[in-house]
Structure 1
């Protein structure tokens, strides 16, 4: 036997003690997870002005707000301080526009040096869809309208339409556009699931219209877009005309006359003090009553009941049954008491009024890792604190208060 082998034999046998792997540090992992959740909630709370404790409570409630009941989801209705429910969501998909309308994006302000949002600042289509699902499933939103800027300048906006149209529970999906690209986009929008379209057209007179849009865009191309939309099945089409004294009030009757009997509905809108760039003055407002009187003098009208409670448009029909018009009298007959609209800017800020001073940053929640329940809680908390009624309180003095521009928040 070799010496080395003998030495090995002489050694006492060593028993290898098998031990289980050290237990995973689950408590520490759980603490870490909770800490991260708490951090997200603090960010959420700071973004919307809620306390951390309040947001946590709301998030727990939001997680239980939609429970199965007899084969469908039960959606808890959220109301604001004036008992107004949240029913409509307007989503701005871009702050850019190819027009420079004098009452919205005057060229003196929105010139070549104007800094629009960078692409990375815009909500992605996936982020918009996620927010829309939360608004619909948790807060009872029934209608979504895509706005801008000009929504059709956002690349592949048809894909967003298709994504939104698939959301369960959405009752209506519409868009407001200046019509400049509608002739080539109408069919794709319809195929994607868009149900209705509204086209802004402030005069049928090319000289007047060119002066308003300030880029020389011809009326004929907008009319071609309206025809394409009708052919695609996006009717009844609504045409919005903002009426400003000294600019286009002489176009009111010709506009009504042109679309009478077409099945399309012209809506005449009082010139509003949205933002600060349009130099709004009360004496430039043509009251809705005056507009109705102008049209009625040639084509007799009679009032029509609203389609639903809280409808902002005052409806009138021609007595001979050849169609109807609408007027939006937000200056002379404000409708704040029935307003059910929330507005989402292109960069993800939630506004509770067209005339709001500031918005609430939902993009920070989306990109900060917040859960759907936390985002839902933020939305609910914002709406419950809502007390806006700017138009009811409007005076010459309030017109000078800080407000966001219409091109940013969407009309």
Structure 2
């Protein structure tokens, strides 16, 4: 499946819930988002039909997101069912707090790997950022259990925020010296809760690289084409890798290979644009599989050539969804 400018779309991010057990301050309000009624959220059967249609259009990489996907009951059975569709790369993004309980079962169900969102290595700061009673130690245990279960390659996603966690850049990078994992630094995006203050707290990937070069040589690492937005490097002598995701300073629109499905059934062809396509309505008005696939195809064809156009930047302010409601 290719969009109208010739990009091959082979990656679908699927939010299976808008609920989360953390309240990270840049992601959602302290009291949480107003959760959708259960009737508004897609049932697993509906999610399955959409993912099946996507695989028939050439999607072979699927990532499950939330909110926090592991808070939704039945996720293990759902993973087992969609893996049977022949998905080449089935992954999940999680905050890691529930991995001590679920890591081994996730692997047994067919999940290939996990990305873990972790913005600090300091216990007090974790409590400040997450605004939750769950301790950092639970996430660190989750990382350990994920590696023991074989949910690899394991990636840690770090959203950098000036004045909050930027003094930990080197500490995160040093994790790659002795561990075969990827630490990925992500530029803060002006979206949802962070829209009004992101510009003041923004740190560019260029600045991060300059700081890390003071630790050791930063050598580019080849990676398969079309396998996500990160550009990978390795510190001299390190076992693991560093990834850099530059949503703002060096956008990757020309190579973007993904679309997103929200938990309430809307396809977002681009994270940075406000256009959405209502597949829930298509499903619940009796569409057959061919009609569903046609609707999904039309949504993919509507993917904008450049998500960070001036129109899209204006839409960021108009977009009422929090990041937790989109699925990242």
TM-score in terms of structure 2 length? 0.94
CA displacement at 1:106 relative to structure 2: 2.7
Q: Answer whether contact 1:357 1:403 (CA < 8 A) is retained.
A: no
Q: Which position in structure 1 is the counterpart of 2:51?
A: 132
CA displacement at 1:119 relative to structure 2: 1.6
Q: Which position in structure 2 is the counterpart of 1:54?
A: none
Task: Find 1:104's aligned residue among 24, 27, 50.
Answer: 27
CA displacement at 1:395 relative to structure 2: 9.4
Q: Which position in structure 2 is the counterpart of 1:167?
A: 85
Where does the alignment leave 5 or more consecutive residues of structure 2 unmatched? none
Distance verdict in 2 for CA 1:365–1:374, change over 3 Å: same
- In 1, Cα distance between equivalents of 2:145 and 2:90: 18
Question: What SS is found at the alignment partner of 1:197?
Answer: strand
- In 2, Cα distance between equivalents of 1:146 and 1:352: 16
Question: What SS is found at the alignment partner of 1:145?
Answer: strand
Task: Find 2:74's aligned residue among 152, 156, 181.
Answer: 156
- In 1, Cα distance between equivalents of 2:312 and 2:326: 22
Q: Which position in structure 2 is the counterpart of 1:335?
A: 252
Task: Find 1:88's aligned residue among 1, 5, 11.
Answer: 11
Question: What SS is found at the alignment partner of 1:297?
Answer: coil
Q: Which position in structure 2 is the counterpart of 1:118?
A: 37
Q: Does 1:270 align with 2:187?
A: yes
- In 1, Cα distance between equivalents of 2:45 and 2:260: 18
Q: Which position in structure 1 is the counterpart of 2:119?
A: 202
- In 1, Cα distance between equivalents of 2:278 and 2:311: 27
Q: Answer whether contact 2:155 2:182 (CA < 8 A) is retained.
A: yes
- In 2, Cα distance between equivalents of 1:81 and 1:401: 25
Q: Answer whether contact 2:176 2:242 (CA < 8 A) is retained.
A: no
Distance verdict in 2 for CA 1:270–1:317, change over 3 Å: same
Question: What SS is found at the alignment partner of 1:95?
Answer: coil
Distance verdict in 2 for CA 1:155–1:278, change over 3 Å: farther
Where does the alignment leave 5 or more consecutive residues of structure 1 unmatched? 1-76
Q: Does 1:406 align with 2:319?
A: no
Q: Does 1:223 align with 2:140?
A: yes
Which of structures 1 and 2 has the bigger CA Rg?
1
CA displacement at 1:277 relative to structure 2: 5.5
- In 1, Cα distance between equivalents of 2:238 and 2:164: 30
- In 2, Cα distance between equivalents of 1:290 and 1:177: 27
Q: What does the per-residue CA deviation read over 1:295-354, in whole Å, with 9 as the maximum and x for residues that have no partner?
A: 221132111233214641011112224321101011100011111111111111111011
Q: Which position in structure 1 is the counterpart of 2:62?
A: 144
- In 2, Cα distance between equivalents of 1:310 and 1:174: 12
CA displacement at 1:218 relative to structure 2: 2.0
CA displacement at 1:264 relative to structure 2: 1.1
Q: Answer whether contact 1:100 1:214 (CA < 8 A) is retained.
A: yes
- In 1, Cα distance between equivalents of 2:311 and 2:200: 14
Aligned length: 328
- In 1, Cα distance between equivalents of 2:153 and 2:291: 39
Q: Which position in structure 2 is the counterpart of 1:14?
A: none
- In 1, Cα distance between equivalents of 2:313 and 2:9: 29
- In 2, Cα distance between equivalents of 1:348 and 1:123: 6
Question: What SS is found at the alignment partner of 1:350?
Answer: strand
Question: What SS is found at the alignment partner of 2:291?
Answer: helix
Distance verdict in 2 for CA 1:182–1:394, change over 3 Å: farther
Q: Answer whether contact 2:176 2:238 (CA < 8 A) is retained.
A: no
CA displacement at 1:360 relative to structure 2: 1.2
Distance verdict in 2 for CA 1:269–1:298, change over 3 Å: same
